[in-house]
């Protein structure tokens, strides 16, 4: 689904990423790599195949879009180093596309490891009236693209059926990206009158008409 933010063309993708067409930039938030391995190590029965979903989605995105840069908007890796970090390093060092990490609260690995992986590490990024951060920031000078909240929305079906789905949450001067990771949970946000919600479907992104009661 394409939207326009000021003069910028943004494609909202069902994988949970944004493709900034003007600069061929891919934006991804909250992958939380290593979280599944961490939980499995502590005895939780998490299907191991979920940990490979990051790479499947990345392969799909890089195949279907001409990408010149990748920005991870924080919480790329969930916690301390484990085997999943080594898998990411191998992938990133083979990736011909520059990758940037806007550091989030979960990005606690030593800076040396992050840089050695091939990531360019920054605390925030400003470009052409846009501000990339991990935490949502109230801005008047920039349009803020961010993550952190793992936004979700409740969709009301027939009767009393409800479905909770990840979403892009578009506030005035801000877009909060859904979590790219598949084992992250959702934080249900309540839209106000000027907010826009775009829910992730299996193969498309759909606008959702919602208002606070």
Size of the chain, expressed as the number of residues it contains: 213
Q: What is the overall mean pLDDT for the chain?
A: 89
DSSP sequence for 65-133: S--SEEEE-S-SB-SS--HHHHHHHHHHHH--S-EEEE--TT--S-HHHHHHTTEEEES-EEETTEEE-
List, in order of start, the domains of the chain with CATH numbers: 2-208 (3.60.21)
- Sequence-ordered list of residues with C-beta below 8 angstroms from that of 28, at least 6 positions apart, any chain: 16, 17, 70, 71, 72, 73, 177, 180
pLDDT interval class at 11 (50, 70, 90) = very high
Q: Is the pLDDT of residue 167 over 50?
A: yes
Joined tokens for residue 167? 């979403």
Task: Give the pLDDT of residue 213.
Answer: 45
Tell me the pLDDT tens digit for each residue of 58-98.
999 999 999 999 999 999 997 666 788 999 999 999 999 99
Tell me the pLDDT tens digit for each residue of 110-163.
999 999 999 999 999 999 999 999 999 998 899 999 999 999 998 876 667 788
In 3D, which of 150, 155, 162 has the Cα closest to residue 186? 150
pTM comes to 0.90
């Amino acid at each position: 689904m394409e939207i326009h933010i000021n003069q910028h063309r943004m494609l909202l993708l069902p994988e949970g990423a944004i493709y900034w067409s003007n600069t061929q930039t891919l934006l991804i938030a909250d992958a939380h790599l290593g979280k599944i391995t961490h939980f499995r190590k502590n005895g939780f029965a998490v299907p191991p195949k979920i940990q490979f979903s990051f790479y499947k989605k990345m392969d799909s995105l890089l195949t279907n879009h001409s990408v010149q840069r990748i920005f991870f908007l924080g919480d790329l890796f969930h916690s301390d180093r484990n085997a999943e970090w080594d898998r990411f390093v191998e992938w990133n060092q083979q990736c011909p596309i520059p990758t940037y990490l806007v550091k989030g609260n979960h990005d606690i690995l030593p800076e040396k490891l992050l840089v050695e992986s091939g990531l360019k590490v920054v605390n925030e990024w400003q470009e052409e009236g846009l501000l990339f951060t991990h935490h949502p920031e109230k801005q008047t000078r920039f349009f803020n693209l961010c993550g952190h909240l793992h936004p979700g929305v409740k969709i009301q079906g027939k009767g009393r059926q409800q479905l909770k789905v990840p979403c892009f949450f578009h506030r005035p001067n801000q877009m909060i990206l859904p979590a790219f990771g598949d084992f992250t949970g959702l934080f249900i946000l309540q839209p106000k009158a000027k907010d826009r919600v775009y829910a992730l479907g299996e193969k498309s992104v759909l606008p959702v008409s919602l208002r606070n009661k």
